[in-house]
Amino acid sequence: MASEKVAFITGGNKGLGFETARQLGKLGIKVVIGSRDLEKGKTAAQKLQSEGIKVDVVAFDVSRKADYQAVYNYFDKNYGRLDILINNAGTSSEDFRGGNKTSTTSAEVLHDTFDINFFGVIEITQTLLPLIRKAPAGRIVNLSSILGSNTLHATPGSPIYEAKAFAYDASKAALNSFTVHLAHELKDTKIKVNSAHPGWVKTDMGTDAAPMEIPDGAKTSVRLATLPDDGPTGGYFHMEDALPW
């Protein structure tokens, strides 16, 4: 088994996931990209390989239940452990600037959003946790958003007070709850679990209106993925700043 650290990044073939893979790879960490479309994942991996990064790609679609066990089998066979899990894949079908439409948000939109942003994260984390427990110092990073902060949503004048996309916001608030609960369960282990707010970033979801470039957006995930032994767990961060739940 390889002695170098190995990281699994869901949705790692583009955007923030791809840049997170690049930055971790530059630190000497072997990165494995999880991609819904395996061919797109292979193309992304080739780009990283051209930069001297050790990278592999596996098929991972949150909606394909067989993929969960296949991913476990891949890491178990090739490494016998997993050092870093970055739950990066996420979705939203709502218009973030379309006003508050909570009363008309459909059950379909809620189910589709939660399946990927919440239930999928829980399932892949629970599936891979036995391998993370075998790592010398496991790190789990859940890609949340400042839009998951109930405190800021309820505070008039906060930066997000007028930004209400109910399904997405609620899924990230629920994800934050998972972070808190899992971190508590693992508090006496070497595993650290944290939520990351990357910032408003120029991605497909963030659009070109966003003020942050993708390399800066990946920094929070990379920091939390490489925390030292005395680093925080059960937290909610943007860069080094703690955010209110």
Q: Would you please indicate which residues are annotated as catalytic (active-site) residues?
A: 168
Contact predicate 14/36, CB 8 Å:
no
Sequence letter at residue 49: Q
d(CA 177, CA 238): 17
d(CA 216, CA 229): 24
- Strands 241-242, 236-238: pairing kind: antiparallel
CB atoms within 10 A of CB 146: 21
Both tokens assigned to 151: 């405190």
Listed residue (130, 15, 146, 151) closest to 72, CA to CA? 130
- The gap from C-alpha 175 to its chain's centroid, in whole angstroms, comes to 10
Burial class of 90 by CB neighbour count within 10 A (0 to 12, 13 to 18, 19+): buried
Listed residue (86, 110, 72, 105) closest to 29, CA to CA? 86
- Strands 84-87, 30-35: pairing kind: unpaired
d(CA 98, CA 219): 29
